[in-house]
Each structure stands twice: as C-alpha cells, then as structure tokens.
Amino acid sequence: MNFFEQQDQARSSTARLTLLFSVAIVTLILITSFPAAWLFATIDVQAQGNDATATTLRFDVFAGVAAVILCVVVLGALYRIAQLRSGGSAIAASMGGILLTRNQAADDELKILNVVEEMAIASGLPVPPVYLINDDAINAFAAGYRQQDAVIGITRGAIRLLDRDELQGVIAHEFSHVFNGDMRLNLRLVGWLHGLLLIGLLGRVLLRIPRSVNRQRSQFGGGVVALGFLFTVLGYTGVLFGNLIKSAVSRQREFLADASAVQFTRNPEGIGNALKKIGGFPLGSRLLMNEVTEISHMLFGDGVMKRSFSWFATHPPLADRIRRIDPNWDGVLINPEKPRERSWSSLPPEAQSTPQPLRPEEVLASTVVASIGNATAANIAEARAQLDALPTEMRQQLDTTLEAALMMYAIVIADAGADTARKQLALLQQLLSPPSFRLLVQQLRLARLQSRALDQTVVDLAQPALKQLSPAQLDDFLRVLEKLVAVDAVLTLHEWSLGALLRHHLGISQIIDKQRRELAACPGECRLLLAALAQAGQQDAVAAAQAFAAAWTLLGLLPVDYLVVSDFRQLDSAVRTLRALKPLQKPALLKAMVSCMHHDGTVKDTESMLLRTVAALLDCPLPPWAR
C-alpha cells in the first residue's frame, strides 16, 4: 500500500465527506425553514384576525429560521471538534481510561507497553501514551487529531485474553488508522454529527416551552409545539443519515486497517486470531459504557453490540474481516477462556519465512521511502534491536515528566564537546534543584554510554511522559533546552534535529501555509535541505557538492549550485514551507534525501537523525532500518 497515495486519497475522502455533510445540512435547513416560516406567518395572520388563507411565506422569517439552524449546526460541530482537538487523551479520559506507566504497570500491562513501543519505533512514530480501559471486552482504539497527539486505548480484556502476536496485530491495525488520517476524519464525523444532533435537542426544548405559557397565548404555544416537533423529527433524521454516512466510511477504513496490519506485521495469524477471539468470546468487543456510541467507529471491534451486517454497523461483519485475512478459514471461532490448539490455515509464503534484516547496500531510496506507512518485519526487528540496546536503567528513567525532561538535556550535553559540556552543566546547576541536578548527572552517564544513533529512539520513548507536562512546565522545559543549545552560540545539526523533533512531537503549533505546493515552487527550500544533509554526511566540500548534485537530479528541477549552509536555523523556515507539499510530491524529496545520505555508501548518525526528523516534520514517519 502506498502511504502517499493513501494520504492523498484521505484528503479527497475528507473533502467528499465534507461536501456530503454540507449537502445534508443545507437540505435539512431548507426542509425545516420552509414549514417553519409558513407556520410563523400563519400564527401572525391568525393573531391579526385575518383569514388564514391569506397566509404568505415571509422571507425574513425563512432567513431567520435558516440562520438559526445553520448557527446551531456549525457552532455545535465546531464546539465538539474543539473539545476533541485537545488530543486523544481527552477521548480516553471520557471513557475512564487510566494512563499506563512502566513504573506502575503490572506484568500483563508491561506486555502491551512493550508492544506499543516496539510498533511505534518500527513505524517511525513517536511512542503514544497508552490508556487502560477497565472493561472485560476485547477492544482497542487510536484517538487524536494528529500523529503527535495520538493515544492508544486498550481494554483490560484485550490485554488479558490476547497473546503477544495478537496484540501486535491489533496495535498494527490502530497504527494504520494513525497513518491513514482516519483519526482526524473520525473526529470531524463526531463533530458534525453532534451539530446535527443539536437540532433534535433544540426541538425537544421547544416542545417543553408551552407548559409555561398561559392559556391566553395558546396560539403561540401551539405554534411552538409544531415547530418543536418539526425540529425534533428533522434533527434526528439528520443524525440518522449522518450515521449512515459515518458507518459506510468507517467500514471501508476498517478493511484497509486490517490489510495494513497484515502487511506491517507479516503475520496474518496475529490479527486473524484476535478477530476470532472476539467472535468466540461471550462479551465479544461490546463495551458497557454510554460514551461508546459516539466513538464506535474508532474502535477495533464493534463496541455497541454483536450483530450481523446492518446499514448502521460501523464495522464489517467479523466473518468478512476474517476471510479477507485468511481465505481458507474453516468458520471456527476461538473462545479465549478455553485451551485451544493452533489451527491457522495456510499462511502466505511471505508470512511463513522470517524476513532478514535489510543490509546497508540494500537500503535504496525507493525501498526506504516505500517503507513509510508500510513497515516490514525487518523494521520491527530493528526496532526491537534498538530497544534491547538501551540500558534497562535508561528506559526506566523515562516514565516521569521530570526524568524524561532531564534525559533530553542529557542527550544534548552528551553530543557536545568537552568545553561546551562543562558550560552546559554549569548552567543547569544554576537552573535545577540539587536533587534534579544529581539525577541529571546520573542520566548523563547513561547517555554518554549509548550510541548517538539511539537518540531518536530515546526521544520517541520519552513522549508519553513529556506529554503530561502542563503548559507552564512545557514552556520552562523548552526554554531551558534553548539555553543549553545557545551556550556555545553554535547550532549543530544534531541540536536542530533534536529540538525540531521535540517541538513537533509535543504539538508546538507552527503556522503552516494552507496552500498545497508543488516541488517546483520550493527550489530554494529543497536546495537548503539537501545541502545541509550533504554537509552532515561528507568528509569535505567537494564530496558534499557531488552528493548534493546526484540527489538534486532526482528532483527533476532546474540545475542549481551547491551552497554551504552557515546557519542551520534556516532549516526552520525551509521545512515549514515544505510541509505544505502535496502528498504525492513528498516521495521525490525524500528519495533525493536518501540518495544524498547514501552517496558515500555509509550513513552517519547525524545524517540518519536529520533525515528521520525531516520525514517526521513532513508527516511521513520513517521506520528505522538496519545500517
């Protein structure tokens, strides 16, 4: 599956869906406004004692009713979307989710934390916070507005009843939703349905008004009742058709996510058996909470009820999902509470063999870029190797906000020269409390022992803790980080990459041009980026110029001269412009960057971190590969 085509299709689907909802809302307004305007005109005529047949449709009343309905729908939708844009944690919290941390997790909860970390690192995404939903059903969801604020929610039943391979399949399914832009689409669906629902709720409010109206105003009361009834019927009719649209979209995205999970893990048995366990478990995937109806389309399995296909089903029938994964399925489901024998039918040949890690010479530009959104078993193996390479003590010191923040400082100092490091330590001794400074010194010892190639992995692992910082704490953290970088008045590529990656993962807002661009409109930005990458990886200016020239030809742009980048801060504005590239324009830029990096046959840590940072900033998370 092509990640960039999926991005482009997701944008088109969102546009079509918005148009469809717009048509539904306009139709609702017209259907409601005409009879409402006629009703008000009739009441006005009767109040004047005239013949009712003289009733004429008043345009001012029609326009007023239409404006009220439009405001209710739009404001209701925007209010709900604004609530949910605060991040997936808000949705998880609304479901009673409990944030899991490594220091407090039980053994079975550590299992899911390990799986999520492994799959996140393998896919190039920051590690999302994991929330435990206290429900015995088998279910999970990914929620958030962007990749940076995504969270994974999983039920206690899924953790208890699924083995590691099955959990891996479920989490791969949820990561597919993150990659394919389904989270943003899902939140918009929730918002617009909420706006339509408010019309029905407004009608119910109007139905209650006549109870407080005295008998002298019975005509007015009768009109309000009729209007309330009209709003109630049409409002809930709008919700009815909105749910039909939501369900149809959701069913197709579920098939796509299942296929992506198989492609990601190369193990159809994992997600296939998870689905079979949902079918064979008495509770299935049904969640016993009121909030589940609104977010039912975000779940791994149908959270509302066990049912065969219906027009309002947010998920395809389980049997259809299983057969798409395992065409030779014999129809037997799995009760996870009973012992069973492994009975997976014929695996595809590529799933039966263990993929070998990619060798450096095999990591060509097309292969690396093709792995975006389509991580392979080799990427998972590399992610597992990177996690195993980190000292246990270091991983344990990333679970609290203080420890995670101090570890980021330690990474900056560990990459600095001896003189700069002494100045940075002296600065932190002034800014931190004595206990915090002592902890920093311990973390610096660990950071210096590890390879700089693992710095991005450490940054990714620190995200769940760093995202718990309050706005004031986040400002203080970034301010201290900037002071550390400014100690020697020289910004290195490692420092730029680390700072840019942290700001991006933590959702620090940047103004992005809404106008989608072609590569041909950004030659200066492409030139600056490729030149910086060439400088990072080559021994001298001549070799850097050659690497730059070879990479530039892949862009198909007019020839330009190589330049020496004297201030890497220029990359901020360049990448900000390049983030507005059209989805199908991004692969060419990334292939040129990979070609530049591989020009001399070796990959330096600074090159790798810069490439993966830029890919993340372009919303194209790049999986790790064996080097």
> Can you tell me the distance from the alpha carbon of 84 to that of 299, in angstroms, rounded to the nearest whole number?
16
Q: Is 174 a catalytic residue?
A: yes
Q: Are residues 466 and 588 in the same domain?
A: no
Average pLDDT over residues 42-66: 63
- Residue 103 has what pLDDT? 82
Q: Could you tell me if residue 330 is inside a domain?
A: no
Q: Which amino acid is at 512?
A: I
Q: Could you tell me if residue 213 is inside a domain?
A: yes
Q: Could you tell me if residue 339 is inside a domain?
A: no
In this model, does residue 224 exceed pLDDT 90? no
Could you tell me how many residues make up the chain? 627
Q: Are residues 443 and 500 in the same domain?
A: yes
Least confident of 76-80, 276-280, 504-508: 76-80
pLDDT tens for each residue of 453-481: 899 899 999 999 999 899 899 999 999 99
Q: Which of 275, 293, 313 is the last residue of a domain?
A: 313
Q: Which of 436, 470, 505 is the last residue of a domain?
A: 505
Q: Could you tell me if residue 229 is inside a domain?
A: yes
pTM of the model: 0.73
Average pLDDT over residues 303-329: 77
The residue annotated as part of the active site, out of 117, 118, 166, 174, is: 174
Q: What is the mean pLDDT of the chain?
A: 80
Q: Are residues 599 and 532 in the same domain?
A: yes
Q: Are residues 456 and 497 in the same domain?
A: yes
Q: Are residues 500 and 536 in the same domain?
A: no
Q: Are residues 439 and 523 in the same domain?
A: no
- Residue 356 has what pLDDT? 44
Q: Are residues 105 and 208 in the same domain?
A: no
Q: Which of 226, 249, 272 is the last residue of a domain?
A: 249
Q: Is 456 within 8 Å of 609 (Cβ atoms)?
A: yes
What kind and span of H or E run contains 407? helix 401-414
Average pLDDT over residues 369-373: 78
pLDDT tens for each residue of 121-164: 988 888 999 999 999 999 999 887 777 888 999 999 999 999 99
- Residue 627 has what pLDDT? 61
Neighbours of 606 (CB within 10 A): 19
Q: Are residues 8 and 37 in the same domain?
A: yes
Q: Are residues 41 and 154 in the same domain?
A: no
Q: Could you tell me if residue 378 is inside a domain?
A: no
- Residue 218 has what pLDDT? 52
Under the banding of pLDDT at 50, 70 and 90, the label for residue 45 is low
Q: Could you tell me if residue 367 is inside a domain?
A: no
Under the banding of pLDDT at 50, 70 and 90, the label for residue 40 is low
- Residue 284 has what pLDDT? 86
Which tokens in the block code for residue 121? 């690192």
> Can you tell me the distance from the alpha carbon of 179 to that of 257, in angstroms, rounded to the nearest whole number?
10
* Residue numbers of the domain that contains 133: 90-180+255-313
Least confident of 20-29, 102-111, 357-366, 556-565: 357-366
3-state secondary structure 490-526: CCCHHHHHHHHHHHHHCCCCCCCCCCCECHHHCHHHH
In this model, does residue 438 exceed pLDDT 90? yes
Q: Are residues 109 and 71 in the same domain?
A: no
Q: Could you tell me if residue 372 is inside a domain?
A: no
- Residue 427 has what pLDDT? 95
Number of domains within the chain: 4
pLDDT tens for each residue of 565-622: 988 999 999 999 998 888 888 988 999 999 888 888 888 888 889 998 999 898 888 8
Selection from 598, 597, 359, 621 nearest residue 493 by Cα: 597
- Residue 236 has what pLDDT? 74
Q: Are residues 149 and 101 in the same domain?
A: yes
Q: Could you tell me if residue 197 is inside a domain?
A: yes
Task: Give every strand in the sheet of 140-143, ordered side by side.
Answer: 98-99, 130-133, 151-155, 140-143
- Residue 552 has what pLDDT? 92
pLDDT tens for each residue of 234-251: 777 777 777 777 677 777
Q: Is 154 within 8 Å of 135 (Cβ atoms)?
A: no
Q: Are residues 163 and 274 in the same domain?
A: yes
